[in-house]
Chains A and B, each alone.
Chain A
């Protein structure tokens, strides 16, 4: 793994990109004297805590943000992009953390937006569709036609389209900002394969991720950003995950999985019976006890997100029932308002679509679902209550910000994610439905969230969590349900689960299809 991009100090023209003393401040300094040197054919990892400045650096490199000081060299030439047209022209493409797709256009049109060199270039439908289809095949979306409207895709599919869009450009430098945050392991592995091929052809890659295992296996070299400075740049072969984490956090933090109280019999909290929606055609039944952390595992498209949506009342129910048992009463949930009223909260998978109010403040975003808690009887807001409540929560969940009145769009991706959880804690939810709750969250904060969830569980709050990371579910959950092809196929307890058994269950319906019907 080493040796492909040897250290080449001195000869700048041999380097693909060099950042020289890049500085950037918003309200506070974000980047200070960032120096990076990336040779051709090198996959360079960039890691750091939420808010460390990774996205900001990526945006500077593609001209979406301008540096306050410092310079960039591309293939030894000074390079000063002022927009993405400049960087694309120079052969640099970005796969953005907050996806840049237009929901109302088709996949092909989205990919084309990126590649057409002139806005007057005639859009040739046929060739566009062929190109798009080839790219979709590359990233593993061969079953989706390029004509599909992007708004209809799942978040993972959108992320794959964003990646395909990046690959469409023949760039010599790819900047990938958390490209796998919504992907399952097989999908991510496929991307890593593509990246290695690209690197062999001499393309350089900047790879930003919080999945440190992936970073160490796919990258040749990695840099750690902390407090806006590059703290370390090393070849991956000599590094361990632990060393990276310590360097990111800057202190000897305790990174053991949270301890758990012994399981005890608890009253029923949620009863789902023969639930069917248009997106979940096969009836699903299960129960959940108060103070239980129930995991939901499955491959991409297995119906995990759809299950949570149905429980929250977002998708219309075709049959069956979702019942909440509370204070000896049993109530049905039919829409999100009822769900929230009965103490259910949903952290949706697609944060930018179903969660974040970009242009509003952090305080607005945290309190929006629980306005009753910061207002009096007449519906008048009590500001002091609001500020106090929000500050307490963002402290507990370590949401990095310049204060509760900072605009949400100015928060880093991981910090936005943490504030989504804060929203439901503020609301006092007693049943949390979490769809990839730690997507894009750094390792330390992720463990902090896990600890918080276990603490909540011990105080009687029930959690149903979907995650693509089996390790996360295994360390967190008391029980795991497995979905496969929109069917509930298995249920495992701590005593009887193993990664292999869970994966086997997740693949079971796919295998059945392969043997019985071989038509695609």
Chain B
């Protein structure tokens, strides 16, 4: 009886509207693409796609980690610096110590994971405020990135660029494929595994999670390690794209990642979010940047518009909930 009533209500409500509402971010993305397509002749072109695909991988993997951390009720402000640290380790490893690329890449990612472990250890186990801990790590990792690169951009070479250069004219590179695979994999982890449930539980009510047999400290620490690890991978992607290790890489990346996650429906209060959503958020932020640049909007105005879009996303999200 109840079920019948419910179906009735669903049917009587405007179907189209509901579909639009439930897929709001996809619709927004399409709208933004269509908007720039109409305004600028050169927007819907392969060059735009290539630019987009170049920028995408690092921000995508970092946003995956950020999303998990936010859902668990934490935050990770250190990701941008960790990207630079990892790139620096890779660059120094190859150019200064002559390490083979795979080993250097692993060391870079490991450096990211260690930064995440430090965040997790201090934030989850010593119960220091995670905002402050990762803010400190933002400085520490940036400093370390300068130290390992001697504050200079370290040239790595063509070998590492193979990772980021598109195959043929397709625009698709190994970096992009890895990033997309990770999006799908982590969405699966979040939705369909015990660990995913535990992340949501800790972010939505820590004390109840503990009574339900979940160890909140372990969960919080694990997502920070994952976030560090993914930021390390982001460093590899960044170095691959540039062909060199730039100690200034990833400045402000944490804010873009938070923005992408929030646009994608992740709650800053924890307990709610989606990795696919964050990826669409990344697309929205990136497309907006590229599109605005193409139609000749200046950097300051670009920032105003991007900021306004983020705020708008939160307003829409509030209104839906």
Contacts and interface: CB of A to CB of B under 8 A. Distances in A.
Interface of A: 25, 27-29, 312, 314, 336-337, 339-341, 346, 348, 353-360, 364, 367-369, 371-372, 375, 378-381, 383, 402-403, 423
Contacts of A359: 204, 271-272
A403 B1 CA distance: 12
Interface stretch (B91-99, B118-126, B211-219, B292-300): B211-219
B18 interface: no
Given A354-B207, A360-B271, A369-B212, 18 more contacts: A27-B2, A27-B5, A28-B2, A337-B214, A340-B213, A353-B208, A354-B208, A354-B211, A357-B205, A358-B205, A359-B272, A360-B204, A364-B200, A368-B212, A371-B198, A372-B194, A379-B194, A403-B2
Given A336-B211, A359-B271, A423-B212, A371 B197 contact: yes
B210 interface: yes
B205 A28 contact: no
B133 to A, nearest CB: 21
A381 B195 CA distance: 10
B194 A368 contact: no
Contacts of B198: 371
B194 A371 contact: yes
Contacts of A356: 205, 208
Contacts of A372: 194
Contacts of A25: 9
Interface centre among A348, A371, A380 (most CB of B within 10 A): A371
Given A369-B212, A381-B192, A353 B197 contact: no
Contacts of B159: none
A353 B209 CA distance: 10
Nearest to A371: B194
Contacts of B205: 353, 356-358
Nearest to A26: B9
Contacts of B9: 25, 27
Interface centre among A28, A314, A356, A367 (most CB of B within 10 A): A28
Contacts of A403: 2-3
B318 interface: no
- Top 9 nearest A-B pairs by Cβ distance? A340-B213, A369-B212, A379-B194, A371-B194, A368-B212, A357-B204, A28-B5, A354-B211, A379-B193
21 contacts: A27-B2, A27-B6, A28-B6, A314-B210, A314-B211, A336-B213, A339-B213, A353-B205, A353-B207, A354-B211, A355-B208, A356-B208, A357-B201, A359-B272, A364-B197, A364-B200, A369-B212, A369-B213, A379-B194, A380-B194, A403-B2
Contacts of A28: 2, 5-6
Nearest to B3: A403
A342 B211 CA distance: 14
Contacts of B204: 357-360
